[in-house]
Structure 1
């Protein structure tokens, strides 16, 4: 019978997202809310689910929650379909940061956020996917990625 092996990746500050991850041990785990799915691809409707996940305490701050990733738009940042991302609730993002963004008060997506002259560009970390261009008033930053919880199935 397959078993799940869990890996915890913590984001180190001030490094490009693709190089920012350090593996941490699954010790001193704390429970945080799992609030639903986030699209790493085309934005999906925001539909919260109620659940919980355990994460190392070093990834958890005051306003931390988790979202399950659906899609492949962030693979160049080492975030894959099925991963659970640990998010710190925040209402603003620096230029080029990877953020969870609410679009038009209804769709949620995970992208790199770039502030441009005519609005914002939500840039996938996958060369095969196009960016999304929006007005500043169309988006709301919900949080920043602090870590990844990845489960692999182990077959014997």
Structure 2
């Protein structure tokens, strides 16, 4: 079975992330529909944290998995307005680029990883939290590397609001 009492939220395309989540039904969460994806560690939804990899896995519905999919556990509250909370596991599609406004896992200076909305212009990069109490992070384009985009969320029910 999946994580005890887990909810699986799949991102619907072409909607703002705060409104994009579709709750998968229980039929998608049965053993025959679950596959393992690597759970590679944690990502900060707050101040960037040092990148450190784990090598465990998590079972998620097959519908949440694409070609290069992995999972990260969220630490922090900077993405709460996009319905991503501390303790959630996000499902990531590995990509090296992102459109303006996409929610991305970003590596800063080859050492710290964070989860933010990404905005790029001539002046540089703005990593925007989805929490009005937190300030954006401004960097040069050369300081960041996009690691992937958020495609789904696994939430433990006891953490759900």
The reply to whether TM is greater than 0.5 is: yes
Deviating runs (4+, > 2 A) in structure 1? none
- Give the superposition deviation at 1:54: 0.7
SS at match of 1:52: strand
Output the CA distance in 2 between the equivalents of 1:61 and 1:129: 32
Output the CA distance in 1 between the equivalents of 2:39 and 2:56: 5
- The answer on 1:145 being equivalent to 2:137 is no
Give the structure with the higher percent helix. Answer: 2
- Give unpaired runs (5+ residues) of structure 2: none
Superposed CA offset, 1:73-95 (max 9, x none): 00000000000000000000000
Output the CA distance in 1 between the equivalents of 2:104 and 2:13: 14
Output the CA distance in 1 between the equivalents of 2:142 and 2:61: 35
Mapping 1:66-105, distance limit 5 Å? 66-105=71-110
Superposed CA offset, 1:26-67 (max 9, x none): 131110000000000000000001100011111101100000
- The answer on 1:7 being equivalent to 2:7 is yes
Mapping 1:30-45, distance limit 5 Å? 30-45=35-50
TM score, norm. by length of structure 1: 0.95
- Give the superposition deviation at 1:8: 0.1
TM score, norm. by length of structure 2: 0.92
Matched-pair contact (CA < 8 Å) for 1:96–1:112: yes
Matched-pair contact (CA < 8 Å) for 1:4–1:153: no
- Give unpaired runs (5+ residues) of structure 1: none
